Structure 1
Amino acid sequence: MPELRFGVLGELEVLVDGRERVVPPGRRRALLTCLLVHAGFPVSADALIEAVWRDDSPQDPPKALRTVLSRLRTVLGRDAIETGPAGYRIAGATVDAEEFEVLVERARTAEARLAGDLLGRALALWRGPAYGEYADAPFATTAAMRLDQLRWDAVESRAGALVHAGEPGAAAVLLEGMLSEQPFREHAVELFVTALYHAGRQTEALERLRAYRARLGAELGLDPSPELESLEARVLGHVLAPVRAEAPGVPEWLDTSTAFVGREDELADLVAAVSENRISVVTGPGGVGKTRLAAESIAALHARLGLPVAVVELAPVTAGRVAMAVADVLGLRPATGSGPVPVVDDIVEYLGAAPRLLVLDNCEHVRDEVASLASAIARRCRAARVLVTSRRRLGLTSELVVPLGPLRVPAPGSSVGEQSTSASVRLFGDRVRRLRSAFAVTDANVVEVAEVCRRCEGLPLAIELAASRTATADVRGVLARIPGEIVGGSGRLRAVVAWSYQLLDSAQQALLDSLSIFAGDFSSDAAAGLMAHVPGWSGDVGPLLAELVESSLVVHHESAEGSRYRLLEMVRIFAGHRLEETGRTAATGSAHGAWVRDVVTRIRDDWPRVDGAVAAGRLTGCSAEVGSALRRALDAGELVPASEITHAVARCLHWTPSLALRDLVIEVGQRGAAAPAPDVAGGIAAAAFSLGEQGEPANARRLGTIALEASRDPDSGATATLALAVAAMYAGDLADSARWFRGLARLPAFTGEANTSLALIDCYSDDLAGAREHAEIALVAAPSGSDASAAFARYAAGEVTARTDPSSGAALLADAASEADRVGAEQVGRVARVALFALLVRAGRHAEAIDLGSGLVVRLRRLGAWTQVGTLLRLLAELLAETTRWSDAAFFLAAARGAATAPRPVGQDIERYRRLEAVLSDRLGARVVEQIETMVAAVPRAQVLTRAERTLTALQADRSAAAGI
């Protein structure tokens, strides 16, 4: 078979075995172009006939098609076009459009210079409009528009990479040509002005900005985006510094109440480094104090940068999960997508709009993933900062490395004064005094203390471990027991940990080993619960745990949840290795899984009985351990206990799991579906429910059906039925959804939930009598269910009531949103607020709608609730049209229409938005509306939301001014 290469990024180009072949204009060319539009996929005969002949079909279309195919094969080769049951396709060919997309995708996570090179290669493939003379043909229009959009995106990205790589002049030339064809691409304008500024052309940069503002207002009736307004202010001030965001306080992280000794200079260096650089990396050996230094810096960094701080502890995070761990800490719920790249995009989008100081702690085992994420954030989020701690640097040219060495130790033979004032000796003395207040470093013991510090090689963790032993013995005795070979040894810190470990009795050692199985911090009750499942254990955990704290091997701290404990990372690694060496890892892992199963089962049983906020807090608090237990069970092939855990979690209705836990729930179900059986049916049903909730109704229906067929008990059967009902609703099959929910309504445990959903289905179908009946049943059943289900019932009742009594409906929706917030029912809270926003807009209660909308935009952006965002933007367009802001209304209506995740209008909304489009066309003119739609197509959704925030803020200001406030 000959080697085929096709060019579609311009006029059609055909190479067979490296030699150009001419496909004459006409039917063969149209046929080949249609096949290339669908490269890799079969195209039906009817579609090809439509593409080749359009409205002038031959007398015998199939025969005519075969003739054209035969002639085309004479040019390309006999086997170039394959035939199958689904139609025809090009076989084994290289297409320049595919090469272009691969290069663009690689550039997304590459450093600036490499990204610029990759994008340059990608753009060099273009020779003209995509698909050449057939760009406007019906079969190619959509594909051509998509490729053209990608092309302009690539131009912007390359320009950004050039600016970041220190070549603003080249970026300016690239963007000037682009803006001559695409004058209203605001991100390109922003990059162009930035490039001019950094190229020393500040006056021209300001002139270009003002010219764009004038043209945008004159032609489209719009103001520049908030990003451009901020840029203009910074150009005027002759400084393109990061935007300072209002920020809350720093998060609780480490206990920093102990004295921070001997790191004053390093702390100042780190604060300066992070303030001036987008990526800063604290490096140093284990136990040197990297994490503590980062923790000490964040309050000063928060004050200096004005940025909120988000801390992600990566020590327990496994390969492939970094992006999800970061998203979880940021509170994001990214859109559905497999693999880390879509999640990285959501993180970058969020940080671009809401900058943070992102602290990534203990990154050495996931260094490549962290480097990729940090690089993407640095390139695309101007105001964000990334602070990393790792034993090794990331390997990025853009990172600033802050190396951290051991504390200074006194030289042998130095004076008593020099020894007493050294940082390591001062740290030792402080830590002993915390346990033994009468202790002091004196002339009588300073020589021995200095020797202890030298043997610990100045490593703070090793010094603290030695200090903990000095609290119950004299310095000379501790010195005698520290192994002399530690000095200069390669395993220096591990040897000190091993020394401290050897001083424990056997019960303390066994407990410490077992505690290493926890994924995060834990309570004393959790430790006791774990050990109750460990084979052969009979000790009293409380006193033993206290001894481990006294030995500085376990850290105690107080939190909002009460007393908590954790293992220092080096200790956790050491104890984990000991667990493996003694052959007790599998048994302890099973014990951990059994404890987790007990915990989530109790929470599930309590879900309808205790306060919803308490129950949700308990489940959220143990979710890291749930994920760890599931991962361990999956690795061991133990699907039955894993299914028991996921099924219990799924029955805690309206609780939103983290991304990582959601994926594990789905993986458990998918594994179970490969060999379905009654004892894993609950796990399969849980996965089906999760898939439906995240917008994959087809997969949810498949797994739900398998679960229902495998189930032999009412509990898992009910969960499978719920999953099928939810999947049908998300698929838009309201009749099928109602059928499943009617079956659930007969079960006492689901009476409220099922009638709530039936009320919504009838409301969407305009059956108000049925909707009222189901809503009343749901409200009556609410007291016997969970608080989250009660909030859901109030939301549905609000939707139904609002149809005939908007005021009462609004009160119910506001109540539902408030209760959902209290009990952590995230999804209920957001849909209730969107429904309330719609009601306020359409009832003419604009002041209330504006106040609600401002906070709602921020909430939906953080949650990644893009389905609700699409609905919100449509409603915002309605509000703006009613206040005669016609251009802004057209902007947001176009943004909602172009959002792939936005639900299509149904019922009365179809006619409502048809009328709005007609009004906007009449007020602005069809040409202006078309230009606005073209402009919106190039605006990232993050900037759309920023504009929405700004627009709502402007409406609030106008209202205040009118009221004389």
Structure 2
Amino acid sequence: MPELLFGVLGALEVLVDGQPRNIPPGRRRAALTCLLVHAGQPVSADALIEAVWRDDLPQVPPKALRTILSRLRTVLGRDAIGRGPAGYRLTGAAVDAAEFEELVQRAKTAEPQLAGEVLGRALALWRGPAYGEYADAPFATAAAHRLEQMRRDAVETRAAALIRAGEPGAAAVVLEEMLAEQPFREHAVELLVTALYHGGRQAAALERLRSYRALLGAELGLDPSPDLVALEGRILGHALEPVRWDTSGVPAWLDTSTAFVGREDELADLVTAVAGNRVTVVTGPGGVGKSRLAAEALAGLHDRLGLTVAVIELAPVVPGRVTTTVADVLGLRPGTDSGTHSVLDDLVEYLSAVPHLLVLDNCEHVNGEVVPLVSVIAQRCRDVRVLVTSRRRLGLASELVLPLGPLRVPDPDTAVGSQGSAASVRLFGDRVRRLRPTFAVTADNIVEVAELCRRCDGLPLALELAASRTATSGVSGVLARLPTDVVKKSGGLSAVVAWSYQLLQPGQQALLDHLSVFAGDFSADAVVGLMAHVPGWSGDVDPVLAELIESSLVIHHETSSGSRYRLLEMVRAFAARRLEESGRRSEAGSAHGAWVRDVVAQIRHDWSRVDGAVVAARLTACSTEVESALRRALDAGELVLASEIAHAVARCLHWTPSLELRDLMIEVGERGAADPTPDVAAGIATAAFSIGERGDPARARALGTTALAVSQDADSAATAQLALAVAAMYAGDLADSGRWFRSLAAIPALTGEANASLALIACYSDELVAAREHAEIALAAGPSGSDASCAFARYAAGEVEARTDPSRGAALLGEASAEADRVDAEQVGRVSRIALFALLVRGGRHDDAIVLGVDLFAHLRRLGAWTQVWTLLRILAELLTERGRWADAAFCLGAAQGAVAAPSPIGQDVERYLVLEATLSERLGAHVLEQIRIMATATPRARVLTRAERALSELQGR
């Protein structure tokens, strides 16, 4: 097959084996362009016929299409255009648009100078409008628009990279060219002003800001964005210093209740380093106390920086999941509605708006992912601080490294009386006293204690392990059994762990080994549940666990939910290695999976029988173990077990899984769909449901249909039907969605859920009598459903009542959001508040709407819930129009209309927004309205949100 290369970033270009080929204008070029738009995906014959002939159809369209494609094959090669059940597709073709997107993606994690070079190569691929003469054809419009938006974003990103690389003059040139074309592209204005400032042209930077303010006000009636206003203030102050944010929150992380000995200087150095640098890395050997030092510094850093603290423990994170884990900890829940944005883009976007102090703990095994992530955050999130703990530095030019060494040990050549002041001796004495309060370091034992500290090389973890043995065996007993220079000569700290392990009884060793399968901390009940599935285990777990705690191999700490336990990472790694060497790793993994299955099955059973806040907290608390169990089951090919676990979680309706858990649940179903059988039908149905909620209805429908076809039990069939109903609703096919929900309404456990959804469908279709009937059934079904489902029923009833009785509707929506918050049904709370916001705006209760809107925008920003953001912006446009803020209203409406991921208005909203647009056109003039729309569409979505928040705040201030 010949080598094919196509150029679509301009007029169509075709190279066959490096030689240009002419595709004449007309039908063949249209057919080829349509195939290229779909980037190797199949295109149906009907879609190709529509693209080639539009309304001027030939007498026999399929035959005419085959002729066109045959002529194309003559030029491109016989096998260049393949055909399958789903349609025609190009095979083995390289396209410059794909190369452009790949280069843009590569630049995101590159250092500034390299990023500028890579983006320069990417932009050089452009020769004109994407898809040439077909840029405005219906089959190419969306793809051409997406590529053009990426091109403009790439110009700005390249300019930012040039500024960071010390080339502000070059950045100013490319930005001036862009602004000549699009004078209201505000991010480009901000970058240009920054480039002028860093190029030593402060007066020109300020003049550019002032001229833009005048142009924006005169032409569009808008004020500059908050970002530009803040930038002007920093330039006037002759320093582009970070802006501090008034936020709060230091998370509970490690237990810091024990004495923190011998690190006073290091602690002060760390606080100073993090305050003054974007990236600080604490390095040192395992067990030296890097994590504890960071934990001790958090309160001081929070007070000094005023930043919210987020701790991301990376020790249990598998390669490939670092960015997702950080997003999960921050509470981001981006879905496919993010459009071209990746999870990294969502993360950077959020941190740019809401800066944090990020603590990335135990990074050494995932340094390859941490390095580019931290590099991007440091470059693009100027107010964020990153604190890393790792056994080795990251290797970034911007990082400040603080090496942490062992605690000082007594010098054998100094006087005995002075040896007790060594930090290692003080730590050792404190830890022994916690277990044996009568212990003291005295003249009688100081020589032995000093020797023991030297043998432990001053490593805090080694000292703690030795202290636990000293509490029962005495210093002399421990010295007799602890090899000389065990740390230095016997394989490092792991040798101390091995020494402590060898002192355990066989049953204690076996339990410790099996505890290594827990992904996070655990309860005593969890240990009992795990060991119940281990073949050959018998006896009482409690006394064995108690001995492991006494030996400091298991750490105990108290939480609001009771006693919890965990393994230090070095102990976990040692125990896991022992499990592997003993051949029991598979057995332990299966036991863990079986225990997790029992736990989630019980939670599902309790979901509609126990208080919603309690069961939601239980599911959230075990979600890390669920992720671990699913990952192990997938690796081991245990799809049936994985399907059972995933399905139980999915049927805890309205609970929102983490990104990692959601992706794992989807992977379970995707794997099952490759060879669908009845015993994995539930897993396939679960994936369909999760994908539908994520916003990919076509794939959800395909998987839901597969699951329903192979289901042989009512439970998995019900989940498949639920997935199909949700997918149809997201696709806008209300009739099909209603058909599936009506079939689910006959299932007692789903009566409330189904009727609540049917009420919404009828409401959207203006069938208010039917909507009210379904809403009443859903509310009456409350006792048989979960508290989360009751909240959903109140939301649906509120939407229905709002159509005829706004006061009653507002009350129901308020009840729904309050109950959703109580039981952690986050999505129900979100949509209830959006509906309430709309009701308050349209009912003239503007002051109440403004207060709610301020909180809503902040909440949606944190979640990355852009589908709801666009809906909220439309409603805000209504409010701003009512308050006479015509230009601001036009900006919000234009941004929502231009967003690819924005849901289309349905029902009464279609007419409502046509009228709103006409009103704005009358007030501003059609030309100004169009210019504002273009500006809003070109504005990065995070900055759109910032403008909206400012507009609300200004209304609130008035």
With the shorter chain as reference, the TM-score category is over 0.9
Q: 1:32 to 1:796 in 2, by over 3 A?
A: closer
Separation of aligned partners in 1, 2:883 and 2:542? 66
Secondary structure of residue in 2 paired with 1:689 = helix
Question: Does residue 552 of the first structure (1) align with residue 577 of the second (2)?
Answer: no
Question: Does residue 117 of the first structure (1) align with residue 117 of the second (2)?
Answer: yes
Q: Residues 475-518 of structure 1: CA distance to partner in whole angstroms, max 9, x if unpaired?
A: 23212211125252262100000111112222222221111111
Q: 1:569 to 1:170 in 2, by over 3 A?
A: same
Q: Which amino acid aligns with 2:537?
A: W
The match for 1:963 is: none
Question: Does residue 183 of the first structure (1) align with residue 177 of the second (2)?
Answer: no
Q: Which amino acid aligns with 2:561?
A: E
Q: Which amino acid aligns with 1:162?
A: L
Separation of aligned partners in 1, 2:856 and 2:194? 32
Q: 1:625 to 1:56 in 2, by over 3 A?
A: closer
| Structure 1, 25-34 or 457-466: larger mean CA deviation | 25-34
The match for 1:216 is: 216
Preserved contact between residue 250 and residue 308 of structure 2 (Cα < 8 Å): yes
Aligned residues: 957
Separation of aligned partners in 2, 1:926 and 1:283? 61
Question: Does residue 251 of the first structure (1) align with residue 268 of the second (2)?
Answer: no
1:587 CA displacement = 2.1
Q: 1:291 to 1:840 in 2, by over 3 A?
A: same
1:70 CA displacement = 9.5
Q: CA RMSD in A?
A: 3.0
Q: 1:2 to 1:638 in 2, by over 3 A?
A: closer
Secondary structure of residue in 1 paired with 2:413 = coil
1:211 CA displacement = 1.7
Q: How much identity, in percent, do the aligned residues show?
A: 75
Q: Which amino acid aligns with 1:358?
A: L
**For 1:448-527, what aligned pairs fall within 5 Å after superposition?**
448-484=448-484, 486-489=486-489, 491-527=491-527
| Structure 1, 390-399 or 899-908: larger mean CA deviation | 390-399
Preserved contact between residue 676 and residue 706 of structure 1 (Cα < 8 Å): yes
Separation of aligned partners in 2, 1:340 and 1:528? 46
Separation of aligned partners in 1, 2:953 and 2:771? 36
The match for 2:806 is: 806
**For 1:359-370, what aligned pairs fall within 5 Å after superposition?**
359-370=359-370
The match for 2:238 is: 238
Secondary structure of residue in 2 paired with 1:270 = helix
The match for 1:291 is: 291
Separation of aligned partners in 1, 2:104 and 2:852? 39
1:89 CA displacement = 7.2
The match for 1:816 is: 816
Separation of aligned partners in 1, 2:282 and 2:356? 18
Q: Residues 588-630 of structure 1: CA distance to partner in whole angstroms, max 9, x if unpaired?
A: 2222222222222221222112211011111111111112122
Preserved contact between residue 338 and residue 901 of structure 2 (Cα < 8 Å): no
The match for 2:201 is: 201
Preserved contact between residue 321 and residue 340 of structure 1 (Cα < 8 Å): no
Separation of aligned partners in 1, 2:339 and 2:883? 43
Q: 1:45 to 1:673 in 2, by over 3 A?
A: closer
Q: Residues 937-961 of structure 1: CA distance to partner in whole angstroms, max 9, x if unpaired?
A: 2212111112111111111011xxx
1:936 CA displacement = 1.5
The match for 1:391 is: 391
1:563 CA displacement = 1.1
| Structure 1, 647-656 or 664-673: larger mean CA deviation | 664-673
Gaps of 5+ in 2: none
1:458 CA displacement = 1.8
The match for 1:708 is: 708
Preserved contact between residue 323 and residue 340 of structure 1 (Cα < 8 Å): no
The match for 1:867 is: 867
Q: Which amino acid aligns with 1:745?
A: A
* TM-score scaled by length of structure 1: 0.93
Secondary structure of residue in 1 paired with 2:795 = helix
Q: Residues 513-556 of structure 1: CA distance to partner in whole angstroms, max 9, x if unpaired?
A: 11111111011121122222222222322222222222111111
The match for 2:621 is: 621
Q: 1:572 to 1:225 in 2, by over 3 A?
A: same
Q: Which amino acid aligns with 1:658?
A: S
Separation of aligned partners in 2, 1:540 and 1:355? 48
Separation of aligned partners in 1, 2:557 and 2:501? 21
Separation of aligned partners in 2, 1:410 and 1:278? 37
1:716 CA displacement = 2.8
| Structure 1, 740-749 or 19-28: larger mean CA deviation | 19-28
Secondary structure of residue in 2 paired with 1:533 = coil
Preserved contact between residue 324 and residue 660 of structure 1 (Cα < 8 Å): yes
Secondary structure of residue in 2 paired with 1:319 = coil
Separation of aligned partners in 2, 1:456 and 1:350? 45
Preserved contact between residue 454 and residue 485 of structure 2 (Cα < 8 Å): no
Q: 1:236 to 1:416 in 2, by over 3 A?
A: farther
Separation of aligned partners in 2, 1:308 and 1:429? 36
* TM-score scaled by length of structure 2: 0.94
The match for 1:916 is: 916
Separation of aligned partners in 2, 1:451 and 1:337? 62
Q: 1:272 to 1:46 in 2, by over 3 A?
A: same
1:571 CA displacement = 0.5
Separation of aligned partners in 1, 2:332 and 2:570? 30
1:161 CA displacement = 1.3
1:66 CA displacement = 9.8
1:44 CA displacement = 8.2
1:850 CA displacement = 0.8
Q: Which amino acid aligns with 1:709?
A: A
Separation of aligned partners in 1, 2:918 and 2:38? 35
The match for 1:888 is: 888
1:253 CA displacement = 0.3
| Structure 1, 411-420 or 384-393: larger mean CA deviation | 411-420
Secondary structure of residue in 2 paired with 1:178 = helix
The match for 2:428 is: 428
Question: Does residue 543 of the first structure (1) align with residue 543 of the second (2)?
Answer: yes
Separation of aligned partners in 1, 2:368 and 2:269? 25
Separation of aligned partners in 1, 2:672 and 2:50? 45
Preserved contact between residue 58 and residue 64 of structure 1 (Cα < 8 Å): yes
Q: 1:711 to 1:49 in 2, by over 3 A?
A: closer
Q: Residues 321-360 of structure 1: CA distance to partner in whole angstroms, max 9, x if unpaired?
A: 2122112111111113999982222111111111111111
Secondary structure of residue in 2 paired with 1:729 = helix
1:153 CA displacement = 1.1
The match for 1:687 is: 687
The match for 2:401 is: 401
Q: 1:956 to 1:464 in 2, by over 3 A?
A: same
1:829 CA displacement = 0.6
**For 1:926-937, what aligned pairs fall within 5 Å after superposition?**
926-937=926-937
1:557 CA displacement = 1.0
Gaps of 5+ in 1: 959-965
Q: Which amino acid aligns with 1:280?
A: T
The match for 2:150 is: 150
Preserved contact between residue 129 and residue 135 of structure 1 (Cα < 8 Å): yes
Separation of aligned partners in 2, 1:740 and 1:42? 29
Q: 1:493 to 1:21 in 2, by over 3 A?
A: same
1:40 CA displacement = 4.3
Question: Does residue 784 of the first structure (1) align with residue 771 of the second (2)?
Answer: no
Q: 1:943 to 1:304 in 2, by over 3 A?
A: same
1:739 CA displacement = 2.2
Preserved contact between residue 840 and residue 848 of structure 1 (Cα < 8 Å): yes
Q: 1:447 to 1:802 in 2, by over 3 A?
A: same
1:140 CA displacement = 5.6
Q: Residues 72-117 of structure 1: CA distance to partner in whole angstroms, max 9, x if unpaired?
A: 899x666697475899877655443332222111111222222122
**For 1:716-755, what aligned pairs fall within 5 Å after superposition?**
716-755=716-755
Secondary structure of residue in 2 paired with 1:332 = coil
Separation of aligned partners in 2, 1:821 and 1:638? 36
Preserved contact between residue 298 and residue 309 of structure 2 (Cα < 8 Å): yes
Separation of aligned partners in 2, 1:610 and 1:81? 60
The match for 2:419 is: 419
Separation of aligned partners in 2, 1:262 and 1:340? 50
1:907 CA displacement = 1.6
Separation of aligned partners in 2, 1:340 and 1:838? 28
Separation of aligned partners in 1, 2:489 and 2:21? 70
1:641 CA displacement = 2.7
1:660 CA displacement = 1.4
Q: 1:860 to 1:220 in 2, by over 3 A?
A: same
Preserved contact between residue 795 and residue 832 of structure 1 (Cα < 8 Å): yes
Question: Does residue 946 of the first structure (1) align with residue 951 of the second (2)?
Answer: no
Separation of aligned partners in 2, 1:826 and 1:347? 20
Q: 1:34 to 1:722 in 2, by over 3 A?
A: closer
